[in-house]
Amino acid sequence: MHNDAGATTAWSAQQWTATAYQLAMQSAPCGIFMCDAHGVFTMVNPAYERITGYSSSQLIGKLRFDALHDPSELALRQGELASPPVRDIVGLHPDSEMIASQGAEADWTYLRRNGARVTVTLALSRLTQADGQTAGYVGTVFDNSRRPRNGLQLWHLLHHDPLTGLPNQELLEERLGLALERAKTGSDPVLLVLLELDNLRKLRDTLGHAAADIAIKQVAARLKRLCGDEHVLGLMRGSLFVMISTGRNTLSAEREAALLAEVSRPIPFASATLHVSASIGVSSYPTAGNDARALLQRAMLALHAASRSGGGTARHFDFGMQTQSARRNHLESLLREAVETRQFSLAYQPQVDLRTGHITRTETLLRWQHPRLGAVGPAEFVPMAEDLGLMDELGAWVVDTACQQAVRLHAKFGQSPCMAINISPTQLRDRKLYGVVASALERWQLPPGYLELEITEGLLLDNTRQVSDTLQSLRKLGVAIAIDDFGTGYSSFAYLARFPVNRIKIDRSLVRAISSVKNGDAIISAIIGMAHALGIKVTAEGVETAAHARRLGELGCDEAQGFWFPRPLTAQALENALAPIA
């Protein structure tokens, strides 16, 4: 009887311990999780569900514990999770045959289910079996946003960028103002340097937000090392870094080169390598202005000038930039009006078959003739249209007008040259491009074979699903695809084999090298031979002499365009050029 009572008492204590253990897990104010040796969740408590926004059914058996971490941060600190440092040995549940090696606490960034970031303190411990094998992990997570913070912590949060920890715009403007006040007292110059990544949008579009974030964080770390105590370094917005220093009024060419070179060093990311470049804009007190607003505005003008020149360079403010900026602002207003009132026309540059001399296709060139300003060059207004988000509307008008012209020529002569239309990067990345082209062809009842879309090879290097799907859809529709300016940049026949390309257009710089540069003929001949082997036609651009045209024909080039043949023609002049000789 006594023995039975003792057994009952022992059993009740064991049951009570297990129940208390479960209650503690359920009511704990901090998040607690357990996972197997592969890191897959096996248990989460309600607090962990609240912190992450995921339910237990969405986590257990489905996700690894590191799947909730900010990918950009995880890529840099993966080793800290793979091998948590051991501090001491702690006991577990009394019935467990395992021990836990307790890892040190560290702050991490979680991405909640709704995409919001939350900073947490994570303590991760490894569960080890009696034989020393890892059985799994247990973690505790504290939501730092719910912890009481002192005034200094709150001030830091309000005045620093959460991604890089650098001073934000508010703090930078305050420090620039203070630097100017001190400089005015001592007559010292103040240097303001803006540095912005050139291709962050492309990086984000192709590899995602995690890649963009890690690029910004790596660049921030590199700039910190370069700046040291000589500059105040901060992040104003996006990828726009700011450097402020006193006692100097210019940035030397050597310093510029060092900054640009440091930024452009490859950045490891997962199984890929990130390549970024930057533009720099520079202004200084007192040369460019006497107050913070003027210095920032003028450094920004210099930065925009560097970006528009192709990026990867630095520009120093001069007052001529203000004149250019005023013209640009004026043109932006006029351009919006021009798109609404259709102040544009198309010119047509023929492409000639080198065997027959016939005009087989014609490149459509956008022209803007303003009532008061006269002709505004496409090199000036096309990038502006891109920046203003007008290119889709303008591009749709070009496609429609080119189709209309092809139909008119076909009705008059029984045939029409193929209309080659330049497509901008924003148009090709837009899911609406296929619909725009298909609608124009249907509206004018034009067979798709009369239309060719010219794109730059850089778009193929992006290799995004959207670009690939759009090109494949257009080819299935029957529209031809051409690669413009081939032979510059990253020209490669590897991507030509992966994408539905019908034609490449050899860049004019290679055409000029024929018979004048060592191996010039050999390069052209190799390009033509490899293209033909892939079933791709070849057109040479910038043909300006009879000798160039003759040699290209001898090398097997299919077509040519340039000033040796007709220059860009109006619609009426194109009709005259196509009219049969009586």
Q: What is the tens place of the pLDDT at every residue in 261-301?
A: 999 998 888 767 888 899 999 998 888 788 888 889 889 98
Q: How many helices (H) and strands (E) does the chain have?
A: 22, 22
The HSE-up count of residue 22 (CA atoms within 13 Å, CB side) is 5
Q: What are phi and psi of 534, to 5 degrees?
A: -95, 5
Contact present, 478 and 445 (Cβ < 8 Å)? no
pLDDT of residue 360: 94
Please tell me the predicted confidence (pLDDT) of residue 463. Answer: 52
Q: How far apart are CA 254 and CA 268, in angstroms?
A: 26
Amino acid found at 338: A
Task: Tell me the residue ranges of DSSP E strands in 383-427.
Answer: 418-422
Q: Cα separation of 454 and 196, whole Å?
A: 30
Domains and CATH numbers, the chain: 27-146 (3.30.450.20), 152-324 (3.30.70.270), 335-578 (3.20.20.450)
Instruction: Give the per-residue pLDDT at 95.
Output: 46
> Which residue, 308, 270, 300, is CA-closest to 283?
300
d(CA 200, CA 162): 18
The reported pLDDT for the residue numbered 462 is: 55
Cβ atoms of 539 and 503 within 8 Å: the answer is yes
pLDDT of residue 504: 93
From residue 224, alpha-carbon distances to 74, 79, 220, 237, 546 in Å are: 21, 23, 6, 17, 57
The CA-based angle 273-275-280, given to 5 degrees, is: 155
Q: Look up residue 185 and give its two tokens.
A: 């007292």
Place of tokens 């290209």: 552
Positions of the chain with pLDDT lower than 70, given as ranges: 1-24, 82-105, 146-154, 156, 205, 271, 322-323, 325-326, 458-464, 488-492, 494, 515-518, 581-582
Q: Which tokens sit at 278?
A: 């930057």
Q: What pLDDT, on the 0 to 100 scale, is given for residue 5?
A: 45
Q: φ and ψ at 149, to 5 degrees?
A: -125, 145
Tell me, what DSSP letter sits at residue 290?
A: S
